[in-house]
A and B are shown apart, each in its own frame.
Chain A
Amino acid sequence: MMKSKADEEDYWNSSKFKAFTFDDEDDEFSRLKESKQAVNSIRRLVEEDEDEDDVEKVSWSGEPVGSISWSVNETAASNQRTDREPAFPKITTDTATISKSHSGYSLSSLFKGKTKGGNFPTFTDSLSDSSVRLYAPELRKPKSEYKDYVSDWSPEETVQRMQQGKVVSLEKFRSLQDKLLLLDYAVCAHDGNVITAVLIYLKRTLSKEVLFRELESRQTALRHFISYLTETRAQRLLLELLRALDRTEDVALLQYKEHLSIIDENKRRDFLKSCLSLPFSPEDTAHIQDHYTLLERQIIIEATDRQAERGGKVEIFQKFPRRASILNMPLITTLYYCCFYHYSDAEGTYSSPLNVRQTFKISEKQYFVTALAARAKLKAWSDVDALFTSRNWLGFTRKKSPLGFQRVVDILQKNSAPTQVLQDYVALVDDAELRITLAQKHKCHDIVINTYRDLKDRQQLLGYRGKVERGSAEERKIEELLNNQQIRWKN
């Protein structure tokens, strides 16, 4: 609502913009109250017999009584404690909750094998064991029937049988040609499950070079293969494949991604350093470089500050103990930290805010907002003031800001700046209307009064008199103005 554009008014009134405004529909929502009252007045009448037959029964947790998820909790609970009231089930706390983020039956989710302790047997291991066939027992048949099932299906029939979940043996496809034929039929069937099964067989029986070469001309199969390698975390083979395909940027990103699973900060830093030589796009290279530089710095700052904090000699750490380590925090968070704890460090040091700003080319606005918030938090109002002060060539000081003063007020207010501080900045808001709104909100009476005086708006000033405290200095000031014969009021 408060854009600083001067033509704001025209913009809303004349143009096609239809804001989602509630102002003129205010009575719409006062009707909510109406309906609420109605509901309340009826309640007493009917409260005796809640939950009639027609009303679906719902337990407090909101599950309809009798629904499956309710019953799971319920029957499980009754299993543990025999006599439980059926109406208020408690959800049993799971020891091992299953991730719910994926809905399940996709190619990728087929492979969500959990690595416990890192020794996850991949399919490479598992399929190269004695088992020679993909085994899918069929229903409604005794087990004996599919033992040693040998047959002579064509590639097409084999794929069809696999789709139907029947037993097949892939071992008989020996020649490269047969194997590729099988793959092509699987791809034609579009069944990811089957395609992947065939790919696993090919992976086991073909050399990498041949497999990669053949996949290159079979894009669908290739994608499934990449997906399969990703999900089984066969990182090394995947990187090899992408390199063979000349997908260098993907290789770089994939490798870079690995840093997320490195916990030790020094190892992570070294890993990031090794990423610098990867074939990223030029823009990305700069970001990766920054990432590395940042972590390197964080490690140094963290070590120094932890020691300083433990030593108990540095006042700021005593007064405002650090809540978390700075390691792996984003750049702007780091800048905030430096503005908070190291504001006056010499510009040559790693922890100096100005140094951080320069090294990472932080935009003026970002720097300003961050420094402002940090210094305001510490109630270092002189630092805040200094941020805005610039001298022109005549030596006069004036206040300048890369962001609107209304935002400045906002940030200061969020850091609980006192009214005396706030009003200095409210006064700098250009737009009179906006200035009054802000001043009223933050109780900067002087500004409101002065602005009305400047606008020669007697009516508003009269109105405002009712809002200030009786007998206060503000009230006297208003009285004086109202009685001042010199002012030519516009109303």
Chain B
Amino acid sequence: MAAHLSYGRVNLNILREAARKELREFLDKCAGSKAIVWDEYLTGPFGLIAQYSLLKEHEVEKMFTLKSGRLPAADVKNIIFFVRPRLELMDIIAENVFSEDKMHSSRDFHILFVPRRSMLCEQRLKEQGVLASFVNIDEYILDLIPYDGDLLSMEYESAFRECYLENDQTSLYHTAKGLMTLQALYGTIPQIYGKGDCARHVANMMLRMKREFAGSQNQILPVFDTLLLLDRNVDLLTPLATQLTYEGLIDEIYGITNGYVKLPPEKFAQKKQGEASKDLPTESKKLQLNSAEELYAEIRDKNFNAVGAALSKKAKIISAAFEERHNAKTVGEIKQFVSQLPHMQAARSSLANHTSVAELIKDITTSEAFFDNLTVEQEFMTGVDTDKVNTYIEDCIAQKDPLIKILRLVCMQSVCNNGFKQKVFDYYKREILQTYGYEHILTLNNLEKAGLLKPQMSSRNNYPTIRKTLKLWMEDANEQNPNDISYVYSGYAPLSIRLTQVLARPGWRSIEEVLKMLPGPHFEERQQLPAGLHKKRQQGENRTTLVFFLGGVSYAEIAALRFLSQMEDSGMEYIIATTKLLNGTTWIKSLMDRPEAQTS
């Protein structure tokens, strides 16, 4: 089920296997039949680690979602709660346990905290008077979850908000812990580079944790040559731009969660021919998206404008393969054809799905609204009129377009202009508050604190210099056969990825000036390897860099890094890790003050 994790340069299946092993060990600790009560949020991430079959092998007979009231009846010896360490969940658990005791029964209770146990939660259980009812209280450390052969995410949604708004560095502690686990499995990473305050912080913690383990040397031959830690606030611009890769657009429009996307069912309606299609499905269609699907792996990172061609090419190949049956004459040939059928069917259904998805997306990307929005984004990124009130934004506000769309654009303009003149700033602020409600003053304040929105200080606008030096805008981005990462945004090359690219060659020394303009320190650290673990590199062998985005990364940035990995002369392969997979909308939403209050 997870073979795709091992195809990459680094076998991330090892990480998954380690996680599975720990899970089995925990389950075996609770001898006898069991039922698991799930914090619903966890089922998504857990699905990437284990299937039900694994649990079943270890005598898990029932599974329920955690809810208040009485536990459903189940004839099992153990009840195990799989929960995040959150206080309100403790209250529900206490309720469950209480109503249980009243009804006789001698079932054992266990709690597995994911990803960390919390003294406060245990304290809470104690106050509720149920702590003593638990035979086992344990933690299941799930910091970095493998999402694909080259992608790890902590799915820590509030990491950016906590780091840059609330100055709460807990997520960084978990990041450092996660990186230590990774090093335990894949060897010490000899070189660490970083840019930004959070990066510095994580590196410091890693070095300190390593000193604490000084007794035991890691004897694993290092898989990673370099670790690059990047603060999201070094590049606030990129996530605000609309992603134009296939995967990026799926995420922008429908949202990808835990590797799945839910799509409107209409285009997937026809199930079988001949059958009367009277009842159209009303439930949305859920698709899993990862590189295990050959076709998806091929097209996910393409600019959307190149997807149509790729799909039709694939269609021809598949049609031709099915036509082969006419040529099969001998029994042997027929047998061979039949043996290939399953694979061909999978390819066929995959093609059908992605053709439908592409159609759905095309309806949106060809709309005037999408085009206008993109035009304005590109104006900002190229520095056109960023210092004035933008008419398009004004019109969008007058039309009462969704607030998040407005905020994305205004923030983008602010970032590209290094802040607004007071008059412009006040104007936008007033228009937004008058149209969407005064309570959003809280959200605007958050955006200001995070640096996404700001009044111009006397300092000059650095963005043009940064843009020119790092070549953030490429005039002739080739969408069909890209030769530069700028294809992922049809012209804009993501700043974060340019920094990564320059680090590999020719090195950051060449851009000292620009690095100084970006927030936070940049640094380099080395970790000593025990003698004998120094890699003897074959000639032409690629180096491997782990790029860790603190505060989130977008699918388009991931696509750009994959593109760099595939470039023949880059000499570098990238593995990507992040606190959260995000897009401009989910990101802004995480910074809003009580976005749910909007509806009330």
The reply to whether A20 and B170 contact each other, CB–CB distance below 8 Å, is no
- Which chain A residue shows the least CB distance to B51? A66
Give every chain A residue within 8 A of B346 (Cβ-Cβ).
52, 54-55
The distance in angstroms between the C-alpha atoms of A52 and B69, with both chains bound, is: 42
| Contact segment of B37-45, B183-191, B407-415, B530-538 | B37-45
| Contact segment of A104-112, A205-213, A393-401, A454-462 | A104-112
The distance in angstroms between the C-alpha atoms of A284 and B438, with both chains bound, is: 10
The reply to whether B341 and A105 contact each other, CB–CB distance below 8 Å, is no
B494 is an interface residue with CB less than 8 A from chain A: no
The reply to whether B435 and A94 contact each other, CB–CB distance below 8 Å, is no
A280 to chain B, nearest CB (A): 9
Q: How large is the interface on A (under 10, 10 to 19, 20 to 34, 35 or more residues)?
A: 35 or more
Asked if A109 meets B158 with Cβ closer than 8 Å, knowing A94-B65, A139-B137, the reply is yes
Asked if A253 meets B445 with Cβ closer than 8 Å, knowing A105-B156, A114-B88, the reply is yes
The distance in angstroms between the C-alpha atoms of A366 and B398, with both chains bound, is: 6
**Contact check: which of B38, B120, B349, B437 meets A330 at CB < 8 Å?**
B437
Q: Which of A92-116 contact B (CB under 8 A)?
A: 92, 94-114
A323 is an interface residue with CB less than 8 A from chain B: no
Interface string of B167-201 (1 = CB under 8 A from A): 11111111010000000000000000000000000
| Contact segment of A67-75, A374-382, A419-427, A479-487 | A67-75
The reply to whether A106 and B74 contact each other, CB–CB distance below 8 Å, is no
Asked if A227 meets B74 with Cβ closer than 8 Å, knowing A92-B65, A96-B92, the reply is no
The distance in angstroms between the C-alpha atoms of A50 and B362, with both chains bound, is: 29
A149 is an interface residue with CB less than 8 A from chain B: no
**Contact check: which of A30, A75, A127, A136 meets B122 at CB < 8 Å?**
A136
Q: Which of A175-226 contact B (CB under 8 A)?
A: 190-194, 196-197, 200, 219-220, 223-224, 226
The reply to whether A105 and B47 contact each other, CB–CB distance below 8 Å, is no
- Which chain A residue shows the least CB distance to B89? A98
Q: Which of B252-298 contact A (CB under 8 A)?
A: 260, 262, 272-273, 281, 283-288
The reply to whether B158 and A103 contact each other, CB–CB distance below 8 Å, is yes
The reply to whether B115 and A105 contact each other, CB–CB distance below 8 Å, is yes
Prevailing SS type, chain B contact patch:
helix
| Contact segment of A38-46, A239-247, A302-310, A465-473 | A38-46
A369 is an interface residue with CB less than 8 A from chain B: yes
Give every chain B residue within 8 A of A123 (Cβ-Cβ).
120
The distance in angstroms between the C-alpha atoms of A288 and B162, with both chains bound, is: 27
The reply to whether B87 and A113 contact each other, CB–CB distance below 8 Å, is yes
The distance in angstroms between the C-alpha atoms of A123 and B120, with both chains bound, is: 9
Asked if A191 meets B173 with Cβ closer than 8 Å, knowing A46-B341, A165-B119, the reply is yes
**Contact check: which of A1, A95, A191, A331 meets B435 at CB < 8 Å?**
A331
User: By the criterion of a CB under 8 Å from any partner CB, how many residues of chain B are at the interface?
Assistant: 151
Interface string of B129-154 (1 = CB under 8 A from A): 00110101111000000000000000
A65 to chain B, nearest CB (A): 9
Which A residues have a C-beta under 8 Å from some C-beta of B? Answer: 1-2, 16-22, 25, 28-32, 34-39, 41-47, 49-50, 52-56, 58, 60-64, 66-72, 75-76, 79-80, 92, 94-114, 121, 123, 126-127, 129, 131, 134-137, 139, 143, 162, 165, 190-194, 196-197, 200, 219-220, 223-224, 226-227, 253, 256-257, 259-260, 283-284, 287-288, 290-291, 294, 328-332, 360-363, 365-366, 369-370, 403, 407
The reply to whether B131 and A103 contact each other, CB–CB distance below 8 Å, is no
B372 is an interface residue with CB less than 8 A from chain A: yes
The distance in angstroms between the C-alpha atoms of A186 and B183, with both chains bound, is: 24
Pull 13 A–B residue pairs with CB atoms less than 8 Å apart, ordered by A.
A25-B308, A46-B348, A55-B342, A60-B281, A67-B47, A97-B40, A105-B118, A108-B168, A112-B88, A136-B122, A139-B136, A190-B205, A197-B119
> Nearest 10 pairs between A and B by C-beta?
A62-B286, A104-B84, A192-B170, A31-B312, A35-B315, A71-B52, A291-B438, A52-B342, A28-B308, A38-B315
Give every chain A residue within 8 A of B358 (Cβ-Cβ).
32
